[in-house]
């Protein structure tokens, strides 16, 4: 495996140069990566594999640096949901903290929290292939907190994702998988939101001409409707809505529209979310 160690810019003479931007990686046992080799008798993270290092820091050569700290997400043993499953545990690494030091002024720390992990549960319990049983779909909710020098939360961002795995015909290749459907950014006092901007996205999935589900390995999802709601510190609310269209009938190169080849075909903008008549198309 090759790892990028540094990037340096040189002048026209080939000798004069700016300080290099350097990259460092985690190689210690404190950040372990690997899959279990047994049915779950050993702690998560039993071994470290050097072929999967994680970016630890970036230094710009002018005393500025970005550093990443990681936390472990253990995968539950036998989560394929099959009786007697012994596919073993695994683990993932997630960014827990990002620290930015510009070289001057205060250091800025951003911390991350993750909730509702979801996994690909095999429907065929006879299939114990760990590469399938151990598929991680993602988190349902992620919180990002920008901290002040004394540890107080200056700004918070919360994002909700499509990550459910439910139903007898659930498809792990669903094009909605991993798409964010709500984001809130703003002030947080430790218990409630203050001034904030909330964005809600309604996603649409393209289906084939016969109405059948899109092939499992090829999917297309797009934001059909986006609502943006701004709440001021005094409680006043302002919102707007935008709709997007990928008219399937227009995609054919032989029709009167000339063929859009998967491109966006129409946009409608509304002054307020509940409005039904756009002010601009």
pTM for the model: 0.77
What's the CA gap between 19 and 29, in Å, rounded? 31
CB-count exposure of residue 235 (10 Å: 0-12, 13-18, 19+): exposed
* Sign of the alpha-carbon dihedral angle for 272, 276, 278, 281: positive
DSSP code per residue over 200-249: EEEEEE---TTSPPPPTT---EEEEEEEEEEE-TTS-EEEEEEEEE--GG
Q: Which H/E stretch holds residue 130?
A: helix 130-133
Mean pLDDT, the chain, integer: 76
How confident is the model at residue 42, as a pLDDT?
A: 42
For residue 246, pLDDT beyond 70: yes
- How many CA atoms are closer than 13 Å to the CA of 107, on its beta-carbon side? 13
pLDDT reported for residue 158: 97
Q: pLDDT band at 91, cuts 50/70/90?
A: low
């Amino acid at each position: 495996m090759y790892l990028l160690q540094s990037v340096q810019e040189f002048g026209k003479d080939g000798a004069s140069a700016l300080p290099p931007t350097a990259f460092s990686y985690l190689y210690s046992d404190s950040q372990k990566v690997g899959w279990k080799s047994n049915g779950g008798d050993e702690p998560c993270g039993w071994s470290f594999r050097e072929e999967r290092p994680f970016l630890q820091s970036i230094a710009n050569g002018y005393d500025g640096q970005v550093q990443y700290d990681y936390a472990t997400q253990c995968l539950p043993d036998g989560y394929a949901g099959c009786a007697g499953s012994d596919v073993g545990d695994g683990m993932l690494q997630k960014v827990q903290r990002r620290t930015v030091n510009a070289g001057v002024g205060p250091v800025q720390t951003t911390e991350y929290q993750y909730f509702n992990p979801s996994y690909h549960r095999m429907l065929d319990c006879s299939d114990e292939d760990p590469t399938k049983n151990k598929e991680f779909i993602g988190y349902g909710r992620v919180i990002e907190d920008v901290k002040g020098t004394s540890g107080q939360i200056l700004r918070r961002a919360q994002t909700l994702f499509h990550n459910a795995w439910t139903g007898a015909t659930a498809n792990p290749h669903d094009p909605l998988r991993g798409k964010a459907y709500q984001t809130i950014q703003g002030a947080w006092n430790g218990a409630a939101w203050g001034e904030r901007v909330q964005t809600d996205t309604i996603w649409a999935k393209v289906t084939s001409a016969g109405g059948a589900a899109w092939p499992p390995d090829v999917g297309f999802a797009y934001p059909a409707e986006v609502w943006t709601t701004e709440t001021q510190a005094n409680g006043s609310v302002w919102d707007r809505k935008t709709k997007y269209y990928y008219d399937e009938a227009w995609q054919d190169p032989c029709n009167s529209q000339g063929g859009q080849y998967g491109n966006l075909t129409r946009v409608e903008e509304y002054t307020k979310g509940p409005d039904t008549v756009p002010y601009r198309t």
